[in-house]
Structures are given as C-alpha cells and as structure tokens.
C-alpha cells in the first residue's frame, strides 16, 4: 500500500538533488576540477615545459593562463600579480606527492597530483590579496605551503 508513496518520495528526492547540482553548477559557478592532461613528473623541467618556468601568461587582453608547480613544501610561483577583471585558467601539477590547491574567496579548490595537470578557471574582478594554500596533508611542512595572488 505504501510502495507507491515511497517511490514518489524517492523520485522527489532525486529531483531535488539534480536541481541542487544544476543550481550549483550554473548559478553559483561551482566547477568540477578537470584533468587537463597527463604529464610525466620527470619531464617538468624539460626545455619547453611550461612548468620549468611557471607563472602567468597573457593569452589575450584580460585572459590569462597560470602555470603552477607544487612541490614539498612550496608553490612556484608563490606570489602572482594579476590585473583586476582578468579571467585566469589555472594549470597545476605536482613534482612529488599529492598536494591541494585552494584559493580563498574563489571557486578554485582542487587536488594536485603528480602525473596529472589539474585545471580550473576563475575571474578576479575585485582588487585585493587572495591567499592560496595546500589543503592536502603532504608531510612535515605542509602548513608552510601557501602563497598569494594580488589582484590590482
């Protein structure tokens, strides 16, 4: 007798979950971190590798890409200056162990793994200092692994 009611309740719950996912994705700008491509950590310093000389590159006015290399226990670079109003695509990889990358006050939050390049995109409209941290425990000096983005 109650089976019909339970099925209807289940369908409603699924619909609510689906709406929550769609709302967070489209309305709130939550993104699933993407795997941009695989990379052999031993090749990070090869000539021509963007991770050998990481940093900000301008693609077009207001559009940038930022290559970041994570290693125990620092990010390279760990201070980046970005003009306000820029859209930045991050490409982050690790040369050793698993790290994390989270920029405060933005939607950028991802794992950083050796062997893969993680990517996310965000806009910096408001000038200020945006701290970023490694938020995956990566050893003794994990807590010293941070940096900042200065939007000006």
Sorted by sequence, the CB contacts under 8 Å of residue 4 that are 6+ apart come out as: none
* Alpha helices per DSSP H over the chain: 3-22
Q: How far is the CB of 112 from ligand CUA (least distance, A)?
A: 8
88 is a contact residue toward ligand CUA (CB under 6 A): no
69 binds ligand CUA (CB under 6 A): no
111 vs 98: CA distance, rounded Å: 7
Q: How far is CA 52 from CA 25, 68, 136, in A?
A: 33, 10, 23
Q: Which residues contact 37 (CB under 8 A, 6 or more apart)?
A: 116, 117
Site size toward ligand CUA (CB under 6 A) is: 8
Minimum CB distance to ligand CUA, residue 127 (Å): 28
Q: Does 99 bind ligand CUA (CB under 6 A)?
A: yes
- Whose Cβ is closer to ligand CUA: residue 37's or residue 78's? 78
Q: How far apart are CA 30 and CA 34, in angstroms?
A: 12
Q: Which stretch binds ligand CUA (CB under 6 A): 28-36, 53-61, 116-124, 131-139?
A: 131-139
> Is 144 a residue that touches ligand CUA (CB under 6 A)?
no
Smallest gap from residue 102 Cβ to ligand CUA (A): 11
* Residues of the shown chain interacting with ligand CUA in the complex, contacts defined by CB under 6 A: 73, 99, 134, 136-138, 142, 145
């Amino acid at each position: 007798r109650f089976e019909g009611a339970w099925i209807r309740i289940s369908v409603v719950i699924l619909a609510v979950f689906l709406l929550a996912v769609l709302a967070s994705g489209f309305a709130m700008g939550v993104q699933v971190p993407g795997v941009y491509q695989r990379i052999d950590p031993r090749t990070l310093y090869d000539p021509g590798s963007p991770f050998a000389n990481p940093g900000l590159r301008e693609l077009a006015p207001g559009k940038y890409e930022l290559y970041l290399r994570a290693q125990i226990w620092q990010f390279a670079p760990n201070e980046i200056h970005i003009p306000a109003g820029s859209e930045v695509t991050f490409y982050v990889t690790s040369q050793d162990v698993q790290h994390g990358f989270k920029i405060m006050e933005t939607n950028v939050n991802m794992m950083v793994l050796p062997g893969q390049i993680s990517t996310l995109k965000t806009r910096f409209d408001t000038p200020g200092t945006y701290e970023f941290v490694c938020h995956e425990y990566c050893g003794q000096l994990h807590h010293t692994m941070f940096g900042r983005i200065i939007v000006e």
